[in-house]
């Protein structure tokens, strides 16, 4: 803020959000701009992840219903599109592909064990890859949640510094002298909280959603592994 110009302009009475931004100096404008951008980015990630988890739960429910409907694994494999975007179907397809490639070469106990290990390994890799996709964007929310309050605090300190500079320049402690700087400082604090609080809340929510989905996906992989153990042992 240009202290001389502010003093020349006289007492400030307009404390609307737009006026606070326009009246602020370049540093506080930069802080406010960063925080507004962070808030918009945070809500973009939040909406994207919310829709993604709703889709994952819906697809998993649909696939589990089809999987336990009594159809054979080979019949399901022939009907499933290998380019599917459903993580649970991808786990199933990866296991079936490994089973189809290796079941014709079972002639010893060692080969049985080797095939079983390969099926388990490819399912574990697929599960890990799908969970990494499900966690996409959580790092952004964590960064915004942790950094925004400190960015807002920097704007707060800078605004208070401007207030003290105004006092020093005018030799007057009247509220009209310090109010603009304090208002800008508090506005920066509010923007920091506005960006951080939703990011914290939804980061925790999506972390719990990811953990819940991981349990569901890993449980399916374990059930599928047990099915293949019986098939491998039977040489089917």
pLDDT tens-place string over residues 93-115: 888 888 877 666 665 666 667 77
10 in a structural domain: no
List the single range of 22-26, 81-85, 173-177 with lowest mean pLDDT. 173-177
Read off the pLDDT band of 230 (50, 70, 90). confident
Structure tokens at 84: 């599917």
Q: Give the mean model confidence (pLDDT) for residues 155-170.
A: 77
Is 19 within the bounds of a domain? no
pLDDT score at 163: 75
Domain count, the chain: 1
Q: Residue 114's domain spans which residues?
A: 26-234
- CA dist 236 and 230 (Å) reads 9
Residue 8, in any domain of the structure = no
Nearest to 41 by CA among 154, 204, 208, 196: 196
Note whether residue 17 is domain-resident.
no
3 assigned to some structural domain: no
The helix or strand, by DSSP H or E, that contains position 26, with its residue range, turns out to be: helix 26-67
Whole-number pLDDT of residue 178: 66
Q: What is the pTM of this model?
A: 0.78
Q: What is the mean pLDDT of the segment spanning 31-38?
A: 91
Instruction: Report yes or no on 208 lying in a domain.
Output: yes
Greatest mean pLDDT among 18-22, 113-117, 143-147 lies in 143-147
Query: Could you give phi then psi for residue 124, rounded to 5 degrees?
Result: -60, -40
CA nearest neighbour of 199 among 57, 31, 35: 35
Residue 177 within a domain: yes
């Amino acid at each position: 803020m240009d202290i001389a110009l502010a003093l020349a302009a006289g007492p400030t009475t307009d404390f609307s959000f737009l006026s606070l931004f326009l009246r602020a100096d370049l540093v506080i404008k930069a802080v406010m701009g960063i925080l507004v951008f962070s808030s918009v980015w945070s809500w973009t990630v939040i909406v994207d992840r919310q829709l993604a988890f709703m889709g994952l739960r819906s697809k998993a429910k649909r696939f589990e219903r089809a999987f336990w409907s009594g159809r054979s694994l080979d019949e399901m494999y022939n009907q499933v599109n290998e380019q599917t975007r459903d993580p649970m179907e991808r786990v199933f397809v990866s296991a079936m592909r490994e089973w189809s490639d290796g079941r014709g070469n079972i002639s010893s106990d060692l080969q049985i064990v080797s095939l079983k290990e390969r099926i388990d390994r490819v399912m574990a890799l697929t599960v890990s890859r799908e969970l990494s996709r499900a966690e996409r964007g959580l790092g952004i929310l964590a960064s915004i949640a942790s950094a925004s309050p400190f960015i807002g605090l920097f704007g707060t300190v800078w605004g208070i510094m401007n207030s003290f500079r105004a006092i020093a320049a005018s030799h007057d402690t009247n509220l009209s002298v310090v109010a603009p700087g304090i208002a800008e400082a508090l506005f920066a604090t509010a923007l920091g909280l506005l960006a951080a609080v939703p990011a914290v809340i939804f980061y925790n929510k999506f972390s719990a959603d990811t953990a819940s989905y991981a349990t569901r996906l890993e449980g399916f992989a374990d059930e599928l592994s047990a099915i293949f153990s019986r098939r491998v042992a039977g040489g089917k």
